[in-house]
Structure 1
Amino acid sequence: MTQSERPRHSVSVAAVVTDEQSRVLVVQRRDTGKWEIPGGILELNESVHAGVRREVEEETGVTIEPERLTGVYKNLRLGVVALVFRARVTSGTPGPTEESAAIDWWTSDEVTEQMSETFAVRVLDALDTVDVAIRLHNGVSLLTEEIAPEVLGD
Structure 2
Amino acid sequence: MTQVDRPRHSVSVAAVITDEASRVLVVQRRDTGKWEIPGGILELNESVPAGVRREVEEETGVSIEPECLTGVYKNLRLGVVALVFRARVVSGKPGPTDESAAVAWWTADEVTEHMSETFAVRVLDALDTTNVAVRLHDGVQLIAEDWQ
Q: TM-score range by the shorter chain?
A: over 0.9
- 2:18: which partner in 1? 18
1:77-92 matches, cutoff 5 A: 77-92=77-92
1:51-130 matches, cutoff 5 A: 51-130=51-130
**Alignment partners' CA distance in 2, 1:93 and 1:11:** 27
Residue identity opposite 1:89 in structure 2: V
**Alignment partners' CA distance in 1, 2:55 and 2:128:** 24
* SS, match of residue 22 in structure 1: coil
Residue identity opposite 1:27 in structure 2: V
Shift of 1:129: 3.0
**Alignment partners' CA distance in 2, 1:129 and 1:51:** 22
* SS, match of residue 119 in structure 1: helix
Unaligned ranges ≥5, structure 2: none
Unaligned ranges ≥5, structure 1: 147-154
**Which deviations, in whole Å up to 9, do the C-alpha atoms of 1:103-123 show, x marking residues without a partner?**
000000000000000000000
Structure 1 segments of 4+ aligned residues over 6 angstroms from their partners: none
**Alignment partners' CA distance in 2, 1:129 and 1:77:** 28
Instruction: Say whether the 8 Å CA contact 1:70–1:130 is kept in structure 2.
Output: no
Equivalent residue pairs, number: 146
Shift of 1:83: 0.1
Greater mean alpha carbon deviation, residues 129-138 or residues 50-59: 129-138
**Alignment partners' CA distance in 1, 2:130 and 2:8:** 30
Structure with higher helix content? 1
**Which deviations, in whole Å up to 9, do the C-alpha atoms of 1:30-57 show, x marking residues without a partner?**
0000000000000000000000000000
What do you get for the CA RMSD once the two structures are aligned? 0.6
- 1:152: which partner in 2? none
Shift of 1:130: 2.2
